[in-house]
Amino acid sequence: MAAPPASRSVDATDARPAQETGLEPANAAAMPGRVLSGSGYLPSVIPHDLLAGVAAAHRRLLDVVGGVHDDVLRRPCGLPGWSVAHLLTHLARNADSHRGMFEAASRGEVRKQYPGGQQQRDDDIAAGQDVTAAAARAELTDAVTRLERSWDTTPVDAWRTGRGWVSSYGDTALADLVFLRWREVEIHLVDLDLDDLGGPRWADLGRAYVEVEWAWTVRGLPARVPADVTLLLAPGDRPSTAVGRGDQLVVVDVPTLPALAWLTGREPGAPGWPDLGPWS
């Protein structure tokens, strides 16, 4: 067996992503000699966990779409009034919209997700209703590839302070945009309703995605809960959370996944549960 290599002194930047090498922490002036305690781990400004999650979701999406033929495209999907073709076109155009925001952020600019507004979004979706399966697959694959490449080439300074503009949230940090794309893929993979081709059902949502989605959705709940209601989410598979200050207490005593299905508008909920404001 070969002898182990000689030990060497490892600078804290060695283990950092290539595009972050050489960056100093914000409090570097207060750290003479950059002596680090513990493991020496320095957090990254790039959301690697989110990027890994959405990349895996992209692969799953493209695998499922690989089995789609022209007849499948004309099926209704899980979104009222939409076909599979509509939803695949939306997923491709959504990827393009994210790429546009990232490319603009890399130039120091802020771009709207859909510069033409809701009309552009609707027209883009409608344009896909008559595409062939081969064209839908090619468009989606190309759009995903371009988006992932734009993430790879986004400078660190853009990751730190860049943003895009999303109609639901206004100015949105780039890391949050990555999560919103992840959500788009995970939720719409279920909405495609292609379980006969290996597509996922709601119960198949990945654990990592569910963790981030739960935190994000609960954070946005105060604006959605009626003023007279206090909503107690008691899933049992995670700590309970109370939202709202109303006198009427409503307990949602179901596990995380069915609770999320209601919170995201995919299921109507049980009798007595309040009508929530729009999910976004």
DSSP code at position 31: S
Domain count, the chain: 2
Both 55 and 114 in a single domain? yes
Phi, psi of 249 (to 5 degrees): -90, 125
By residue range, what is the domain housing residue 58? 48-204
pLDDT at 130: 85
Q: What is the pLDDT of residue 147?
A: 98
Residue 126 sits in the same domain as residue 192:
yes
User: Is there a single domain that holds both residue 193 and residue 141?
Assistant: yes
- Residue 126's pLDDT band, with cuts at 50, 70 and 90, is confident
**156 and 235 belong to one structural domain:** no
Average per-residue pLDDT for the chain: 88
| One domain, residues 135 and 61 | yes
- Regarding whether 199 and 97 lie in a shared domain, the answer is yes
pLDDT in tens, 130-162: 899 999 999 999 999 999 999 999 999 999 999
Q: Are residue 129 and residue 198 in the same domain, yes or no?
A: yes
- Is 258 within a domain? yes
Phi and psi torsions of 169, nearest 5°? -130, -10
Same domain, 155 and 257: no
Q: What is the CATH number of the domain that holds 81?
A: 1.20.120.450
For residue 42, pLDDT beyond 80: no
pTM tops 0.75: yes
pLDDT confidence of residue 20: 56
Query: Are residues 142 and 244 both part of a single domain?
Result: no
pLDDT tier for residue 214 given thresholds of 50, 70 and 90: very high
Rounded alpha-carbon distances, angstroms, from residue 60 to 120, 141, 212, 251: 27, 12, 18, 35
In a domain, 2, yes or no: no
* C-beta of residue 224 within 8 angstroms of C-beta of residue 278: yes
Is it the case that residue 178 has pLDDT exceeding 80?
A: yes
> Do 162 and 255 fall into the same domain?
no
pLDDT at 38: 64
Long-range Cβ contact pairs of 73-82 (< 8 A, separation 24 or more): 73/131, 73/132, 73/133, 73/136, 75/193, 76/193, 77/191, 77/192, 77/193, 78/190, 78/191, 78/192, 78/193, 78/266, 79/191, 82/125
Write down the pLDDT at residue 74: 94
Task: Quick: pLDDT tens for 43-81.
Answer: 899 999 999 999 999 999 999 999 999 999 999 999 999
In this structure, are 118 and 257 located in the same domain?
no
Burial of 186 (0-12, 13-18, 19+ CB in 10 A): buried
